[in-house]
Structure 1
Amino acid sequence: MELIMETNNNDFERYQRAKKQVEQIKGFYSHLASYILVMAILIFINLKYTPQYLWFLWSMMGWGIGLFFHAMKVFNWFPFFNQEWEEKKIKEYMEEENKRNKFE
């Protein structure tokens, strides 16, 4: 009975993590779509009214950097600080605390 409950718990946790990952990916693609739309508008305005100075590049680079870091987080391109790393660290700290509590 306990094994069945543990399996159901693990399945539920995996489902919740997968659901959260899908929501993060959707959020990134929304961010990407708004970036493309706004950049197209800014490029149009820049080229129509002040083509001698391409100021839209500053906006494109600034927001692009933010978009890049968003992608790194969502698609787990960070070697550290991703979901697995966090879970591993949490387990390590919990084990350390359990060891300390045993000696007290």
Structure 2
Amino acid sequence: MERDYFEEESYLRAQKRVKELKGFYWHLFWYMAVNIFILIMIYRGLGKNDSFFRYEHFATAFFWGIGILGHWFGVFGIKGVFSKNWEKRKIKEYMDKDKF
């Protein structure tokens, strides 16, 4: 009975992690697709004397990129530092120290 509980808990954690990864990769895919489309449309609409490298042309990519970076940290970065696994390791470490 206890083994089933731990297997189910492990499965649910893995399933949650897969959903987080899938969400990030879809977010990244749409970021790339939409921004490539926008930049192609801007490039095609420019006249002879217009500059492609203007702030307005890259504003969407820049600000959405900040969102992508935040999403990345949520999935891969900062969250891993103080995650539940980290807490469990630290608790076990301190309990082991108290035994001696």
* Common fold by TM > 0.5: yes
Question: Which residue is equivalent to 2:85?
Answer: 84
Residue type at the aligned position of 2:20: Q
Shift in Å, 1:81: 4.9
Select the residue among 1, 6, 9 that pairs with 2:5: 9
Question: Which residue is equivalent to 1:66?
Answer: 67
Question: Which residue is equivalent to 1:99?
Answer: none
**Pairing of 1:41-52 with structure 2 (within 5 A):** 41-50=37-46, 51-52=50-51
Looking at structure 2, the residues matched to 82 and 66 of structure 1 have their Cα atoms a distance apart, in angstroms, of 21
For the residue of structure 1 that corresponds to 2:51, the secondary structure is coil
Determine which structure has greater relative contact order: mean sequence separation of CA pairs < 8 Å that are 6+ residues apart, divided by chain length.
Answer: 2
Shift in Å, 1:74: 1.2
Per-residue CA distance 1:3-31 (angstroms, 9 max, x = gap): xx222111110110001100111111111
Residue type at the aligned position of 2:58: L
Shift in Å, 1:52: 2.3
Residues 83 and 37 of structure 1: is their aligned pair in 2 closer, same or farther, counting only changes over 3 Å?
Answer: farther
Q: Quick check: 1:30 aligned with 2:26?
A: yes
Looking at structure 2, the residues matched to 23 and 29 of structure 1 have their Cα atoms a distance apart, in angstroms, of 10
Residues 39 and 10 of structure 1: is their aligned pair in 2 closer, same or farther, counting only changes over 3 Å?
Answer: same
**Number of residue pairs aligned between Structure 1 and Structure 2:** 83
Looking at structure 2, the residues matched to 69 and 32 of structure 1 have their Cα atoms a distance apart, in angstroms, of 12
RMSD of aligned alpha carbons: 2.2
Identity of matched residues, %: 31
- Structure 1's unaligned 5+ residue stretches are 93-104
